[in-house]
Amino acid sequence: MTDMTVDNAPVQGQSRSLWATAMLRLRRNKAAMASIFVLIILALAGIFGPMLAPHSYSKVYPEFVKVKPSLESYPQEEQVIPAAESALRRARVDLGAIDVDDGKVRIEVSSESRDIDPRISRYLDRSSVFSDAEITIDPADPKKGVIEASVQQLYFLMGTDANGRDLFSRILISLRISLMIGALATAVALTIGVIYGATAGFIGGRVDNVMMRFVDVMYSLPFVFFVILLVVFFGRNLVLMFLAVGAVEWLDMARITRGQTLSLRRREFVQAAEALGVSGKSIIRRHIIPNTAGTVIIYMTLLIPKVILLESFLSFLGLGVQEPLTSLGVLISEGAKNMRNAPFMLFYPAATMTILLFALNFLGDGLRDALDPKDR
């Protein structure tokens, strides 16, 4: 591995610190820079998107199940009259002419036996197609009246799912969940892996042998199956998911940190600290862990997509995030079930997932090239 130092000292003259050089190399890497840009947009969309989206991710529009993605507003013109008819079916009145005009609907109602009950306008309000329904009863004949209501302008840019929920809003919230799990589970894996690896590498000898043998044994286990076991037996909640996924992915991190630590162990500044009588724990905290930072960052960016993938995999099988919350895996799984009549339900989540994973992988590769040029 390369000699890497965290350069806190002021830079003298023309020399550049490792981090400055790395930044320079990273800036030249177009794919990596584009990935950073895409990731920032996706992260912002995940954080603020669900607040700004016109629909809530859990709001159900029973009238609009699996509608196609479109830039035009729903309901479409030919849907308004049937919607009004079905909304007023239970009002037990005869419907006269229905006029649709410029976002407004005007319905003549009449009844043969009874006076018109002004409360029937609520039937229209209850439907998600109409709002602000007002009824005017003919002063001359209480058996006749006119209802006026405004027609909703609902936009479903990416269509709606099998329950009539806006797919775009659901993709936004699933981005948030997937990114959150990616970040938190990676943090768990990072913490366990770095501490474990640094300890094994620092103590060395027999302890190191035993600790790394343990990692080898863990490597040979079919771990995904264990995660599924864990999720099945202890219920499906988000915290457990972080822990389970994090607990699986720490192995690589432990191996890498151990390797780094072994080489750092022989460096003069660590030996100096030892000679000064600094305790082992402090040396690990003050010298070893900060000096492994570069490598750890590289593997972290490569770990995040793995974690997101694992979570989505669990969700795809129905073992992950539960309704009404959602994640990209859940959406892809629903899309796969409905692809015969609503292929867009598969397409949009799958495309989002692909873009996210591509960006993370390109950034990881770019960082590796930038921080560790020998490894190219």
Site for another protein, rule CB under 8 A? 217, 220-222, 224-226, 228-230, 232-235, 305, 309, 312-313, 316-319, 329, 332-333, 335-336, 339-340, 343, 346, 350, 353-354, 357-358, 361
Residues 6 or more apart from 187 whose CB is under 8 A from it?
Answer: 246
Minimum CB distance to another protein smaller for 295 or for 312: 312
User: Rounded to the nearest 10 degrees, what angle do helices 293-316 and 223-233 cross at?
Assistant: 60
The identity of residue 376, as a single letter, is R
Judged by CB, which is closer to another protein: 23, or 232? 232
Is 178 exposed, middle or buried, given 0-12, 13-18 or 19+ CB atoms closer than 10 A? buried
Nearer to another protein, 13 or 222 (CB): 222
Strand 73-74 and strand 154-155: the pairing is antiparallel
CB of 350 to another protein, least distance (A): 5
Comparing CB distances to another protein, the nearer of 2 and 354 is 354
CB of 171 to another protein, least distance (A): 14
User: How far apart are alpha carbons 116 and 123 in whole angstroms?
Assistant: 13
* Minimum distance from residue 228 beta carbon to another protein (Å): 5
Taking the C-alpha atoms of residue 95 and residue 142, their distance in angstroms, rounded to an integer, is 15
Distance of CA 65 to the CA centre of its chain: 23
Collapse the DSSP code of 148 into the 3-class scheme (helix H, G, I; strand E, B; otherwise coil) and give the result.
strand
Q: Which is nearer to another protein, 230 or 273 (CB)?
A: 230
Q: How far is the CB of 86 from another protein (least distance, A)?
A: 31
Q: How far is the CB of 283 from another protein (least distance, A)?
A: 33
* CB of 183 or CB of 319, closer to another protein: 319
Nearest distance, CB of residue 237 and another protein, angstroms: 13
What is the rounded CA–CA span in Å between residue 58 and residue 323?
9
The CA-based diameter of the chain, rounded to the nearest angstrom, is 105
In whole angstroms, give the CA distance from residue 264 to residue 256.
Answer: 12
Alpha carbon distance 97, 145 (integer Å) = 12
